[in-house]
Amino acid sequence: GQPICECFDCYGGSDCSELSPECSADADSGDPLFLEPFWMQHATESAVVISGWHRMSYRYADYTTMSKELENYIRKIHLLVGNAATEGRYIVFGIGSTQLLNAAVYALSSENSSSSSNVLASIPFYPMYKAQTAFFNSESFEFEGDTYSWQSNNSKNNEDVIEFVTSPNNPDGELKKSVLGGKTIYDHAYYWPHFTPITGPSDHDLMIFTLSKLTGHAGTRFGWAVIKDKDVYEKVLNYISIADLGISKDTQLRVLKLLKVAVEGDGKPLFEFAYNTMRERWDRLTSVFSKSTRFSIQKRHPLHCNFFNETRLASPAYAWVKCEREEDDDCGAVLEAGKIIGRIGSTFSAKDRYTRLSLIKSKYDFELLLQRLTELVLRENGSI
């Protein structure tokens, strides 16, 4: 008969339980919808209403009050989680952390040097660093690729380098450290208890965070930089001011409302929901991969989490899958034949023997991914 309710895309039958054999699991993007159920449970407290005549000005009268209050909440959540030192540091808002990545490169690059600063990251790295540095095509900075190759070719000259350190790393979840020991931009998008044990407050000169992976509101486009040095702070501020005349006040108001909910109960409700969701997904994923010799995933290390006050395994946002068979050097294609869409290794300047699978999408996306992975492993073992 006809389904009573409309089924999700890939499902049919009278009770929507029949999965269409044609349907692929899309584990490509890092859209953090796994947090949507938490916000559904907190729908009223997290809602924002703005009257038409409110906050029309570029810099309306209470500019400092609201932005300052938001800054205080950012400091508060860092203190509560224990993931970053913010005392005595400057904070700058950006349109997502994306905008701040390039603002930071600009701020750290040397102005009066005759040669351009060398921007590097360690393979496998988030592709935006390379894309932005190339796109903005400045005389002050140039993307030079992998830190390890740079190190072996330029063993002494680490003076004019700007190194992106992504910790935990996208795609593999590793807690990275600087390789070159020059200027660094610490991208801490994933340094929250959902994804990794919090081992202590990060204390680097320039650290970047994003609302996208903290509360899941990627569409709000809000990030912030925590900066030690006043000159660097002023340069980042100048970049934002010239690019945008500042960050939307509507956005700031929404972020403030969300952070007020996030810090309730000392952050326990949000972080427990987020961590439990990720842990459950990793438990199930690990169980599927443990039955396979054809595919492997990254090793996860147990560390003491100061926030939860216990030793835990990391539960990274992405699975970094390796196809182990000699002939499977295009791992993306192997997975795609099994109706799984991931992001291929070369996107991260790694080998295509690797593919990244996103674990932070909706429950629906994750269930479909797990179903397709289970089938793939059953087929490997000749069970179907």
Residue identified by tokens 């796994």 is 34
143-146 long-range CB contacts below 8 Å, 24 or more apart? 143/119, 144/118, 144/119, 144/120, 145/120, 145/121, 145/349, 146/120, 146/121, 146/122, 146/349
126 binds ligand PMP (CB under 6 A): yes
Position 258 contacts ligand PMP (CB under 6 A): no
Tell which positions 17-36 bind ligand PMP, by CB under 6 A: 30
Give the interface segment with ligand PMP, choosing from 95-103, 288-296, 351-359, 369-377 (CB under 6 A).
Answer: 95-103
Residue whose Cβ sits closest to ligand PMP: 96
Query: Which is nearer to ligand PMP, 172 or 375 (by Cβ)?
Result: 172
Min dist CB 174 to ligand PMP, Å, is 12
Calculate ∠ Cα 212-215-220, nearest 5°. 50
Cβ closest to ligand PMP, residue 292 vs residue 349? 349
Angle made by CA atoms 322, 292, 347, in degrees to the nearest 5: 15
Site string for ligand PMP, 169-198 (x = CB under 6 A): -x----------------x-x---------
Q: Does 247 bind ligand PMP (CB under 6 A)?
A: no
The count of residues interacting with ligand PMP (CB under 6 A) is 13
Among 67, 133, 166, 315, binds ligand PMP (CB under 6 A): 166
- Our finding on whether 248 is near ligand PMP (CB under 6 A) is no
Q: How far is the CB of 380 from ligand PMP (least distance, A)?
A: 30
Question: What is the footprint of ligand PMP within residues 207-236 (CB under 6 A)?
Answer: 210, 212, 218, 223
Binding site for ligand PMP (CB under 6 A): 30, 96-98, 126, 166, 170, 187, 189, 210, 212, 218, 223
